[in-house]
Each structure stands twice: as structure tokens, then as C-alpha cells.
Amino acid sequence: MDDTVSRDSVTSSTSDEFVVVNGEPKLKVAADVSDISEEIASAAATDSKMSDSTEFVTDPLSGHVMPSSQSADVLNSGSLLENYPDTPNDEEMTGSDRAGSASLTVVSTGDCTVFNAVTYLGCAMVNAPRSEVEIYRNMAVLNQQSQMAIPIALSVPATSEGVVRLLEPTGDTDIATFRIHRILFCARGPPDSSERQCFAFTCSHGDTADNSIFQCHVFRCDIPEAVPKILYSFANTFRRVPKRDKSVDNLASNAELVFTFSVTLDFREDDGKGNYSACSKDKDAFKFRVNTEKRLIISVQQSGPHEIRIERCFGLLISPGRNVQHSDMQLIELVSMGYAPDSKLYNIGGHWDPSEKCFAILNTETEKDTSVFLTVAVDLVLFGIQEPVRFILETKAKIFPSTDRFWYLSRKAYVEHFNIRLKQVGGNRDSKHYEVVHIESQTETKRRNHNMTLNLTGGLRPPPDSVKTPQEDEDSDTDEPLPSGSGVVSKEVTDENLLEAWSDVLTRWHQNLASKPRQVSQLVRKTIPQALRGEVWQLLAGCHNNEDLLESYRVLITKDSPNDAMIQRDINRTFPAHDFFKDAGGQGQDSLYRISKMPEEQAFCVLVKIMYDYQLRELFKQGFHALHLKFYQLERLMQDQLPDLHEHFLEMGLEVHMFASQWFLTLFTAKFPLHVVFAILDLFLSEGHLIIFTVALALLKSSRKDLLAHDFEGVLKYFRVHLPKKYRGEESAQELTQLAVSMKVSSRKLKKYEKEYQVIQEQSLQQENPIERFERENKRLIETNMRLDQENEDLAHELVESKLAMKSQIDTLEDRCNELEKDLTQTSKHLKEAEDEKKRLDAESKSLKEMCRRELERAETEAKRNSVIISDYKQICTQLSERLEKQQTLFRDELQNIRMQIKSCEKCCSVFDGENIRLADNMKEEQEDPNITDLQRHIRELELELAQTKLALVESECKTQDLTHQLNVAFSEITANKNTWFQKTISSIRDVASTKKEPKD
């Protein structure tokens, strides 16, 4: 058969060779039927006999099966299918068949047949679903290269209206399902190849011929004999169509009626004058004022061919958010209800006081360009329907101050259309009784249709228009998120029994580190005292006194890290609110720097255990495949346990990775207070990675009402800012941990989600159109090539610029070198002159020193001579003084004697007057004694000579001082000449010159 079947022929909706999408089932089976040819004829004959006694009929369209050399319309493999009466019994089986049945486990029920020991090899997208060659090629490729083989149990339905199910071998959980009417072609592997144990079928996906795609799903059985038995089951399934009671169908179709209702919602506010004025609207959002009572006006009108009267309004409810549960709705007071005069319009009025605590979100001013969701529900009692029918209206609102005035009043009303499908269950022509089969709004219909659109590219739906949403004030005056490391961890423990319990457990634990005491998990769920947390963490992680890790730390801490610059940049951004880490250059940041390179001993050991034993390292590997798997598992858990919140996120286009990536990557250490982080780490080290999912579900569950009340931007802001602030108190953090512990997340369920994720990933790869994939890859390569070309041009430009800059630098350096050579020549010349000058100065210094020495010696000799002279002079003076004193004494004695003699003489006494001698006027003075005159003259000469000697001595001392000063100045000049910059420059030039001379030598 030709392998190059065109796409147009494949998608033809009129060809008899293919199943029309959503049409009657037709099947083409390709296989080697030589081993079961005898059962084929008996199967057809037996089915014709069964048609009268069973609930099945043979499909009249089975003749559309195409025959070929490897094709058959019916396959029968023997007696293993117990739910088929026409199957041969065990006595008719051959030995080989009996051996095969022993290895193949078949579970038969009235609705389906389950085949165990089957492996799903994967799927591939095909262009020609009827091409045996293409199916065989995909079968061979998947059988040899498939890395995603999954053991399954295959469930084949008994009729053509059933579903083929791929089940987990250990349970009844669906992995994938395929409706029978979408299966187009079955093929068995060639018997002489390695694919003889394989079979495959092609299946269509899509709602129309324009958007449909075809996939080939390949399976492998443990024994080759099982393959024809499974294909026989498929063949019988397609030939059997359940009988239908036409009268029942007609009654059912006649009993179901569709009623259409148009519901209009309007709000009115108290204007302070006793009246209520209509609220303005901004696009699709109502404008409300805070602390202002309001009236709700709801008008219900029917349209369409069928009509049912409204008896009364059972209740009017309102709640912030959307997709809210019934328990979240708040009943408000009904004011009026009834039909308008001469009209089919039913009006309902209600009074709403938004100042009540339950409406806090709807009574808080919103920021500019932000809004909140609100949901209004009205329960109506319809004639002929026992239970009230609820109409749910979802809209938006913007909250303004009570003093604001709105100049523009939009009168566009909010209208929602509802379709109610009713089934008549009794009554008569005048009084009919109905049962509500289904009720759906026009908005829900649009959402459902949008979600059911086939997405072949795997692209994400774009989020709705960005509408910022306000958040509740979480005891904070700003909208800034909490910095990492904020909060204080209390060191006080009020429960003494808890301390005693931990002390007993740690004592027993240290005695046997290989066995964890049973009480540890319960104690960790209560809390770990702050003083014991470090020790308990090491024990939980299994790294207490781990000498190997400690030795690794001691070795690695001495090595340089290639990421020092990156670590330094991030140091001040890690726990900026913690006192120990916030000071730049402090002990905390220094320790954190070492921790970032390689942790301090205990932290290093715990980190290694968390990254490897707790598999946190897998989340950071290339491609983040493990991280995306965690996102999918969390999304499925939300779908199971928080369906309303999951639906809300799905409608907004909010994906799990937009808010949960930091939860998984940082273990909630980013943004949350420290006491919350420590409590989560306690549970994580004790119970493993499951606690991440339970904490995430607890956070979502505790904030469900707030999240439902906000739109896309508001939810993201809530996760970033207000959610961590909710747990700044110890009590709220304890409530979070208790709620997390109570959440049920099993490893078995996560394994199931993991298999689903693997199947989805493989199907998404196989579903992609090769042309589109190649075009995308080509586009990516072209972009990469353009980027590389641009980088090449930039590098070439940088290279040219660098060469020009280098050339300029070389020219500058050469000029500088020439200048330095000239300077060196001049400096050498100056050096030679300086050396000559130094020699001259040295000679002058020597002569000056010699002269100074001689002068000093002469001065010393003169000083000694003068000292001798002075000594002699002093001695002479002393002697003369003594002699003079003696002479004076003798003269006084002699004079006294003369005076005594003169006084005794009468003649001479008149000459004396007391002690004085009275001389006559004409009497001449007696001549002095010549000896005395000579002595006085000699004394005067000695005194003069002494004065001259002293003067000469002073002059000699002055000369000596001048010479000493000149000598000191000469020494200072010599020393200065040796230490000047010029001398240093000369010395450096000498060193360079000597260095250059050495290689030449």
C-alpha cells in the first residue's frame, strides 16, 4: 500500500476508507490471519445466531472494511474471551493456545474485557491513518527506541458505544481513554519481525475535519499469542451495536424541553435623601461607594418557544469572588418580588448592607484601575419543579470613597442568558411536573467551548486583560512584600512536657543514630524548640557527625569559587530583614558568603543531604523537567481537592508556575516569615518532599475566599505581598502547619499524576505536525543564526575597534618610549655630571674637614695656652691682692702709730683734726711713695693685659663656633646630596643599565 497518502485524502469526510469524525464506527484490521483463519468464519456464524437472544446486533456497516493481503474484517483467537458465547471452549484449544492463556491474564465482565501484561510504547502523529507501511514504521521505531514504555492493563468495551481504557496494572485508575467511534484502523506487527508481539491502532482527535489529527498508538504484549486475541476483541466490539427501544428514545426526546431565561442585574445606592439612585458602570464593572447601603434589582424574562411561570423568589444571595461555593454565599433581605403589570418580566428587589464583616472586600476602596469580583445568586421557584432553580451572576465592581461623585452614568445593564433543560416526569396536560436535567449560562457555555478547543501547539491561553485588584490590608501600611528573613523566631518554650519529651528522644536517638525513634514525627509536628533545632535537623537529615562530609568541607572551603562575583552580588539580597545578615561586611554576611561558596560545617552537611537525599537538586537540572512535573502534580491536586479555585485559575489563564515556583525551589524561604520557614523545614526534613504539596494546598485552601475574589493581577499580587503577611503571627503559622499536616497527599497519587504527565508529554511531542515542528525549528535556527551573525558582527566591530585602539596605544607607547630614551640620555649625562660634582664636593669636603681639624687643633692649643695664662694671671692677682692687703695693713698700723705720736705732741696735734690731717694752705702735699706708684702702675698693666687676653679668648671661641657650624652645614649638605630624588633616580638608572648589560654578557 502506498505510504505517501496525501493529507487531503485523509481528511475527506466522504471517503468510505476512513471513519467520518463523530460518525458511525467502521474498522479496518490489518494482520497476518493465517493462525486464526478457522475462528473467523465461526465467529460470523455465531454472531448471527446471537442477534435474537442477546442485546447486541451486528453493525450493518461492517461491509465498509477494506480487504487486503494483510487485512480482515473479523478476528477470532479462541476461547480466552469468556464473555463471548461464540468463543471456543478450553477443550478445543491447542497446546500452544493453552500455554499462551496461562501467561495472559484476562478479566471479563459484561461491559468490557481487561487484558493484563500489556505495555504501552507510546504514540506518533500520522498523516495517513490507513497506511500499513506508516503504521509499521512507527511500530518499529517505538518498539526499538521508546523511552516512555508504561505497563498497563487494556480494557476493551463490549459494544461500539464504549471506551477503550488504558488502566494502571495495580488499580482501576485511568491513564488514557479512546472512544471506539474514533478508532479508524488496527494493525498487528509482522510475524517474521521483532514487532510480532506488537499491535497498534490509529485514532482521530478533533471536532471537525479541518482541525482533526490522527495518532498511531502502539502496544506490546509479553507473548505473541495474545495479539490476535486482543484484535479479535476489537473486531467484536465494532460489530456489536446495542439495541435501543425506539419508544423510549422518542419519549425521552419528547419529554426534554429547553427553556431560555434572560436575567438582568442592577444596583442602586442610598443617596442620603431617602432614595436609591442607580450605580454607574465603568465598562463591565459597577461603581460602588464604601459604607453605603444598596438595593439589588433583578429582572427575569423568558424567551423561546417554551414557557414556564415563576412562582416566587426563594432567596437572594451575594458573595465576593467568583466560582464560589454555596457555603460562601451570604443571604440578603428580600424587599419585593413579582411580575410587572401587563408584562412577562419578573422583578426581584433586595437590600444589601456592605458594611457587614463578611463583605469587607466589597467595602474596601480599590486602587486606581483595579477591581474585585462579586457573585450574585437568585433562587427561583418555578411551577412544576419541586426544587428551586439557582441563577448565578458573576460581575466586577470598583469601590470608591463615600464622598466621590460620578458625572458619567452608564445605563448599560448587566444581562446573562440561561438555558434550562427540563425533563417531564409526570403530571397531566394542565399540570406538568419537571425535573431539572441541566442548567447552564451563556458565559459558562463560552468558557466550556473555549476550554474544549483542540490545542495542538501546546500554547497557553493568554491571560485576560490586565485588571489590577486590591488586596486586604494585612496589618501593613504598604503594598511592599515582606523581605526575606523577616520575623522573629521565639526561643521560649512554655510546654515543659515538650522539652522533657525531646530530651528523652534525643538521648535515645544519640544512642542509636541508625534508628529514628517513633515519637520524632509527632514531636516535629508540634514544634522543635529553637535551641534544639540545629541538632534535630542534623539528625533528621542523617548527617550528625558525618566525618566524610566534614572532611569534604575542610578541603573545599580552602578553594576559590569561580562564582565569587555572583555570590558577593547576592549576599546583601539574602535575608535582608534579618539582623544577623543585614550589615554589610558584618559577621553574618561574611558567614553567608562562606556558606554560599561552601557552607559552614553543619549547614554544609544539611544542605548536601537536602540536595541529594531529599532530591531538591533534581529541580534545578537542565530543562527543569522535575520542576514542571511538580507543577503538574500540584495542579492535579488542586483539581481534586480545590476544584473551584482550580477552575478560577483556569478561566483567568493563571498557571501554577506563576506562583509556586519559589515554593518548590526555595522551600518557602522567600518572602515568608522566619518562624513559618523554620516550621516548614522541620516538617520537610521529617516527612520528605510530600510536605511541599501539603503546605501549598494549605496555603491555597486557607486563602481560597480571597483568591476567588480577585482577578489575574490581583491573585499574583496576593501571592507576592499579602499571603506571606497573613502568617506573621505565631498562631496563624501554627494553624497553617496543622492544616498542612491534615491535607491528604499520597505517594501513590503522585505516581499516578507522574504517569499522566509522561503520557501527556509524549503525546504532545507526537501530536505535533512535523512540518510545523520543522518550521518552528527552522525559525529557531534562523533566529539563532541571525543572533550569531549579529554577535559575529559585534565581535568583528569590537575587534576592529580594539585593533585601532591598540594601534593608537602602541603609537602612544612608542612616543613615550622615545621620550623616555631621551630622558634616559639626559639623565645619564646629568648623572655623570652629578658624579663629577660629587667627587669635587667629596674632595672639598675632605679639605674642609682637614682645615677644620687643623683650626680645631689650633683653637684647642690656643685655648689651653690661654687657660694657662689665665691660671697664672689669677695666681698673680691673688698674690698681689694678698700682698696689697698686707701692705695696707702695715700702712694703717704705721699711720695709726704716727697719729698717736702726733697727738701726743702738742706742736703737732694742731695739725690733725680728729682723724684727718689739717694742712696749711701754702703747704704742699707730700709726695707719694714711689713703690706704691710702681705697684699701682704694674697692677694697671696686668689688668690691661688680662682684658686683652679675655678679648682674644672670646674671639677664639667665636671663630671655633663659626668653624663648627660650617662643618655641620657641610655634613648636612653631603648627606642631603646622598638622599635626594635625583640620587635615587641615578641609582634606579644604574640598576636598569646593569640589568640590560647582563643578558648581553
768-780 per-position pLDDT tens digit: 777 877 887 788 7
- Summarised one tens digit per residue, pLDDT across range 488-528 is 777 777 777 888 888 888 888 888 888 888 888 889 888 88
And the C-alpha cell for 119? 505495555
- The Cα–Cα gap between 74 and 37 comes to 10
* Paired sense of beta strands 285-289 and 389-400, if any: parallel
Q: What is the DSSP letter of 861?
A: H
Q: Does pLDDT of 140 surpass 50?
A: yes
The sign one gets for the Cα dihedral 829, 832, 835, 840 is negative
- The Cα–Cα gap between 185 and 10 comes to 13
Q: Mean pLDDT over residues 72-87, rounded?
A: 34
- The Cα–Cα gap between 15 and 602 comes to 73
Partners of residue 152 on adjacent β-strands: 118
- Summarised one tens digit per residue, pLDDT across range 953-999 is 888 888 888 888 888 887 777 766 655 656 666 677 777 766 665 55
The length of the chain in residues reads: 1001
- DSSP calls for 637-656: HHHHH-HHHHHHHHHHT--T
Specify the pLDDT at position 952: 83
- Out of 511-520, 815-824, 903-912, 935-944, the most confident range is 815-824
Q: Does pLDDT of 868 surpass 70?
A: yes
- Residues 6 or more apart whose CB falls under 8 angstroms from that of 336 comprise 347, 348, 349
In the block, residue with C-alpha cell 503559622: 733
- The Cα–Cα gap between 676 and 487 comes to 9
- Summarised one tens digit per residue, pLDDT across range 191-240 is 888 888 899 999 887 665 566 788 899 999 887 778 888 888 888 888 77
- Out of 323-327, 600-604, 834-838, the most confident range is 834-838
Nearest CA among 180, 189, 253, 255 for reference residue 224? 189
- Summarised one tens digit per residue, pLDDT across range 168-202 is 888 778 888 888 888 888 888 888 888 888 999 99
Q: Mean pLDDT over residues 345-360, rounded?
A: 90
Specify the pLDDT at position 255: 57
Instruction: Give me the long-range contacts of 556-559 (CB less than 8 A, separation at least 24).
Output: 556/598, 557/594, 557/597, 557/598
390: left (phi over 0), alpha (psi -120 to 50) or beta: beta
Q: What is the DSSP letter of 911?
A: G
Specify the pLDDT at position 263: 93
- Out of 82-86, 552-556, 579-583, 589-593, the most confident range is 552-556
Q: Does pLDDT of 920 surpass 60?
A: no
Q: What is the dihedral of CA 392, 398, 399, 403, to 10 degrees?
A: -130
In sequence order, what E strands does 139-245 have? 150-157, 163-167, 174-179, 183-188, 198-205, 213-221, 240-242
Q: What is the DSSP letter of 530?
A: G
Specify the pLDDT at position 669: 85
Amino acid found at 893 = D
- Residues 6 or more apart whose CB falls under 8 angstroms from that of 995 comprise none
- Out of 30-44, 226-240, 821-835, the most confident range is 821-835
Q: Mean pLDDT over residues 754-763, rounded?
A: 88
Instruction: Give me the long-range contacts of 684-690 (CB less than 8 A, separation at least 24).
Output: 684/614, 685/524, 685/537, 685/540, 685/541, 685/610, 685/614, 686/520, 686/521, 686/524, 686/525, 686/540, 687/521, 687/524, 688/614, 689/614, 689/615, 689/616, 690/745, 690/747, 690/750
The rounded percent of the chain whose pLDDT value lies above 70 is 74
- The Cα–Cα gap between 427 and 513 comes to 77
The sign one gets for the Cα dihedral 466, 469, 474, 480 is positive
Q: Mean pLDDT over residues 661-678, rounded?
A: 87
Residue 14's pLDDT band (cuts 50, 70, 90): very low
And the C-alpha cell for 592? 553567608
SS3 track for 364-428: CCCCCCECEEEEEEEEEEECCECCCEEEEEEEEEEEECCCCCCCCCCCCCEEEEEEEEEEEEEEC
Q: Does pLDDT of 594 surpass 50?
A: no
Q: How many CA atoms lie within 13 A of 313 on its CB side?
A: 24
- The Cα–Cα gap between 26 and 265 comes to 51
Specify the pLDDT at position 583: 55
CB 764 within 8 Å of CB 215? no
Distances (CA, A) of 166 to 161, 163, 169, 746: 17, 10, 9, 22
Distances (CA, A) of 854 to 87, 848, 861, 972: 147, 10, 10, 21
Specify the pLDDT at position 449: 63
Residue 248's pLDDT band (cuts 50, 70, 90): very low
Burial level of 53, CB count in 10 A (0-12/13-18/19+)? exposed
Report the range of poorest mean pLDDT among 138-152, 198-212, 860-874, 953-967: 198-212
Q: Does pLDDT of 27 surpass 60?
A: no
Q: Does pLDDT of 466 surpass 70?
A: no
- Summarised one tens digit per residue, pLDDT across range 361-407 is 888 888 777 888 899 999 998 988 888 899 999 998 889 898 888 76
Per the prediction, the chain carries an average pLDDT of 76
CB 64 within 8 Å of CB 16? yes
Specify the pLDDT at position 694: 93
Specify the pLDDT at position 562: 66
Q: Mean pLDDT over residues 236-253, rounded?
A: 59
- The Cα–Cα gap between 940 and 396 comes to 135
Q: Does pLDDT of 604 surpass 60?
A: yes
Specify the pLDDT at position 254: 52
Residue 701's pLDDT band (cuts 50, 70, 90): very high
Distances (CA, A) of 744 to 277, 451, 637, 693, 875: 50, 29, 10, 10, 129
933: left (phi over 0), alpha (psi -120 to 50) or beta: alpha
Q: Mean pLDDT over residues 669-686, rounded?
A: 88
Residue 811's pLDDT band (cuts 50, 70, 90): very high
CA angle, 39 as apex, 119 and 84 as ends, to 5°? 70
> Higher-confidence residue: 407 or 830?
830
Report the range of poorest mean pLDDT among 211-225, 287-301, 552-566, 647-661: 552-566
> Higher-confidence residue: 659 or 6?
659
